[in-house]
Amino acid sequence: MLSPLAFIPAFPLLGFAILFVTAGLLPKRCITTIGVGSVGIAAILALIVMVAFLGAPKPYTEVVWTWIAVSGLTPHVGFYLDALSGLMMLVVAFVSFLIHLYSAEFMSTDEGYSRYFAYMNLFVASMLVLVLADNLLFLYLGWEGVGLCSYLLIGFWYRDPANGLAARKAFVVTRVGDTAMAIGLFVLFTNLGTLDIQPLMQHAVAHWPVGSTLPIVAAALLLGGALGKSAQLPLQTWLPDAMAGPTPVSALIHAATMVTAGVYLIARMHVLYGLAPPVQTAVAVIGALTLLLAGFSALNQTDLKRILAYSTISQIGYMFLALGVGAWSAAIFHFMTHAFFKALLFLSAGVVVQRLGEEHDIFKMGGLRGRLPLAFWTFLIGSISLAALPLIDAGFYSKDLILWEAWSDGTLGPWLWAAGLIGALLTAIYIFRAVFVVFFGPLKLEPTGLTGLRIAIPLVVLSILALVAGFVEIPPYLGNVPAFSQFMQSSLPAPPAPVSAGSILELMLSASAAVVAVLGVGIAYIAFRRRPAFLEALVRSPACLALQHFWETGWGLDWLYDRAVVRPFLWVARIDQGDVIDRFYSGLASLSQAAYRQLSESETGRVRRYATGITAGSIVLIAILVFA
Amino acid sequence: MSVVLMQHALLLAMVLFALGTIGVLMRRNLIVMLMSIEIMLNAAGLAFIAAGSRWGQADGQVMFILILALAAAEVAVGLALILRLYQRLGTLDADAANQMRG
């Protein structure tokens, strides 16, 4: 008897199969029912499974069948449920369902309606496979499935070559990380003889001493994969371009699927990272650098969706920072709150963009507060949560936890904390810059059309979650509700005991984070609402303009990669068009062409000549039979 | 049937077959080519009859009846093809029907 666990990814996969095979021939109502319903069923099943798991919190594995069995490698199609994978599964399924519901209306006039839902369903199925897989090979299947779907969906409007280019960029850049991850899997398998995650972790602890070479190599290679998927330094360049897809796709990529895969992978393999302290430190440093870099870039974007894209990179940076200091459950906590408020921000931004006729530039918007009240309030709630304004929203509790545990981490701690704090200031400034520019001031573009119920419901539900989801983990000085970290403790170890838990210090650090967030909002208010003239005067100086351009283009990394990797590669490809191998194959081709020409000469069309051929052949054959 | 008589019969069959083959290969008239094929078929049939008679077996005659049926079918199809070719090309020259050369 199979438990419902195995069916959770199966339903979206079935939805994909039906929509893919019928290729848009079904009536629209049918497509909506299948596309949204399959993910809805998955969400309901995930809820049932999690309620059962909360009743009896014991991790279990559900093996459906053996996938491959060759000389020692026997990965199963198996699903593993513990607190970590269960929470991920629930958030992924639930947020995906809301995004699907939103898409049903958002995409309703698109000609690729069926194709869209087919890809989205496959996306969700892949992500669920990724989080639930009990072995790394099956996880890798989901991992690649997610990559494929992101390619398909970023390039969804394929008639514009720029979209295809963005899709290819996303695919190729994440592929760099995926290759590292595949090699990491080989290292793990050849040295530990299994890919099943739980035995693998036990073997790793048993065979590898802390800080030895092999765990460092394996952890670093897996980190490469995580950096690619989660868009962290130095592989983050694909994410801002990934905005080429439809807005709900961005919401799905940023909130529920894809970019959080790297965070999940590291949390899942936390034992391995515990054996490789240098790599873990690298995770924290990369996270801190990324969150700063992306924060500065977000500050200078004019495209509403690109602001949110850089904000995602920055927030994932927080998660990596948390992972790097061993604050596993804080990272997953931030993943959860981020999933809610980032999905909310993207979906309400989608409403704004669509109602203004695909206008992305925030400086062409303005004064939309009264015209789009739903989008305004939901975007505001998302922004409050993203900026982590104190006490009232989910983002505050998760970010606060990360900052506190970063501070408590050894020698590097205060530096990481400072980076996080500056990041928090940047976050508040850039998101409220968007809020003030888009929703306040004079009206510049008149919105058209209407927003229906299927868009409103996901927005409202996500708004509520973005406000209250943080109350499952409240720090000691505010009432001490550690429900979330206690729940996570069964699969993720608690962070190393903080220097002075629950002390005045923690309260002060929290207070400074809160002050910084409020300060950020204040700066944004003064600079973009109260005194825009002052800022304009400031940025008119050439140094400022250069810096602004530098930040806007993502610290010139695109430029650097173009010069350092893409162009040399194209150059080599161009000058190497006629090398030995190519010559051999083109020689083969021209040889067969010449032979074809020679043989076709004999086809004269004269029946007597053919008859002569047959006769001669028969004579030779009979001669061989008789005389041989 | 004696061995000598069979040898004569086989010799005749061989000569007939060779004549038929030469006719098919040399002549350009489609009707004559068809007739030459008939001669080849009958030469083969004669060889069967001679062999069947030599060993007192009915198989040779069975094979000949089979060849007759084959020849009838061949003539039916062949004449129909020739008729169509003649309507199309206005001649019975086999070499004129070379439009499908490579």
Averaged pLDDT for residues A167-182: 88
Contact between A459 and A374 under an 8 Å Cβ cutoff? The reply is yes
CATH number at residue B16: 1.10.287.3510
Is residue A499 predicted with pLDDT exceeding 50?
no
Asked if A605 lies within 8 A of B99 by C-beta distance, the reply is yes
DSSP line for A360-397: -BGGG---TTTT-HHHHHHHHHHHHHHHT-TTTSHHHH
CB-side exposure of A220: number of CA atoms within 13 Å? 13
Per-residue pLDDT, A2: 61
Q: Which stretches of A277-372 are DSSP H helices?
A: 277-299, 304-324, 328-355
Q: Which stretches of A526-566 are DSSP H helices?
A: 532-539, 542-552, 557-561
Could you tell me if B17 lies within 8 Å of chain A, comparing CB atoms?
A: no
Per-residue pLDDT, A496: 58
Contact between A432 and A526 under an 8 Å Cβ cutoff? The reply is no
Averaged pLDDT for residues A291-308: 84
The pLDDT confidence band at residue A569, using thresholds 50, 70 and 90, is: confident
User: How much is the mean pLDDT over chain A?
Assistant: 83
Is residue A585 predicted with pLDDT exceeding 70?
yes
Asked if B98 lies within 8 A of A606 by C-beta distance, the reply is yes
Shortest Cα distance from B36 to chain A (angstroms)?
Answer: 13
Residues of A in contact with B24 (CB under 8 A): 608, 611
Instruction: Give residues with Cβ within 8 angstroms of B69, minimum separation 6.
Output: none
Is residue B41 predicted with pLDDT exceeding 90?
yes
Is residue A462 predicted with pLDDT exceeding 80?
yes
Domain boundaries, chain A: 329-539, 578-627
Per-residue pLDDT, B67: 94
Asked if B97 lies within 8 A of A611 by C-beta distance, the reply is no
Per-residue pLDDT, A479: 65
The pLDDT confidence band at residue A616, using thresholds 50, 70 and 90, is: very high
Range in A320-329, A370-379, A408-417 with the lowest mean pLDDT: A408-417
Strand partners, A133: A79
The pLDDT confidence band at residue B80, using thresholds 50, 70 and 90, is: very high
Only one residue has tokens 């629950």, namely A502
Total CB pairs under 8 A between chain A and B? 35
Max Cα–Cα distance, chain B, nearest Å? 52
The pLDDT confidence band at residue B65, using thresholds 50, 70 and 90, is: very high
ipTM above 0.90, yes or no: no
DSSP line for B60-78: HHHHHHHHHHHHHHHHHHH
Write the burial class of residue A72 (CB in 10 Å: 0-12 exposed, 13-18 middle, 19+ buried).
Answer: exposed
Q: Which residue has the higher pLDDT, A310 or B97?
A: A310
The pLDDT confidence band at residue A595, using thresholds 50, 70 and 90, is: very high
Averaged pLDDT for residues A127-135: 89
Is residue A362 predicted with pLDDT exceeding 70?
yes
Is residue B8 predicted with pLDDT exceeding 60?
yes
SS3 letters across A571-595: HHHHHCCCCHHHHHHHHHHHHHHHH
Per-residue pLDDT, A261: 87
Averaged pLDDT for residues A230-250: 83
Is residue A502 predicted with pLDDT exceeding 60?
no
Per-residue pLDDT, A35: 86
In a mutational test of the A interface, the residue from B21, B22, B32, B85 whose CB has the highest number of chain A CBs within 10 Å is: B21
Is residue B60 predicted with pLDDT exceeding 50?
yes
Using CB atoms, which residue from A599, A608, A612 is nearest to B94?
Answer: A608
Per-residue pLDDT, A539: 66
In order of A120, A267, A347, A550, the CA distances from A250 in angstroms are 11, 24, 9, 24
Contact between A113 and A517 under an 8 Å Cβ cutoff? The reply is no
Asked if B102 lies within 8 A of A602 by C-beta distance, the reply is yes
Per-residue pLDDT, A485: 74
Residue B53 domain boundaries: 3-90
pLDDT in tens, B68-78: 999 999 999 99
Instruction: Give residues with Cβ within 8 angstroms of A182, minimum separation 6.
Output: A140, A225
Number of structural domains found in chain B:
1
Q: Which residue of chain B comes nearest to A618, CA vs CA?
A: B21
The single-letter DSSP state of residue A496 is S
Instruction: Answer yes or no: is B32 within a domain.
Output: yes
Per-residue pLDDT, A538: 66
Instruction: Answer yes or no: is B102 within a domain.
Output: no
Percent of chain B with pLDDT over 90: 59
pLDDT in tens, A508-546: 777 887 888 888 888 888 777 776 666 666 666 777 777
Asked if B98 lies within 8 A of A615 by C-beta distance, the reply is no
pLDDT in tens, A181-216: 999 988 888 888 888 888 888 888 888 888 788 888
Percent of chain A with pLDDT over 90: 5
pTM, two decimal places: 0.77
Contact between B59 and B52 under an 8 Å Cβ cutoff? The reply is yes
The pLDDT confidence band at residue A495, using thresholds 50, 70 and 90, is: low
Could you tell me if B32 lies within 8 Å of chain A, comparing CB atoms?
A: no
Could you tell me if B75 lies within 8 Å of chain A, comparing CB atoms?
A: no
Asked if A615 lies within 8 A of B21 by C-beta distance, the reply is yes
In a mutational test of the A interface, the residue from B37, B95, B100 whose CB has the highest number of chain A CBs within 10 Å is: B95
Could you tell me if B98 lies within 8 Å of chain A, comparing CB atoms?
A: yes
Averaged pLDDT for residues A260-270: 87
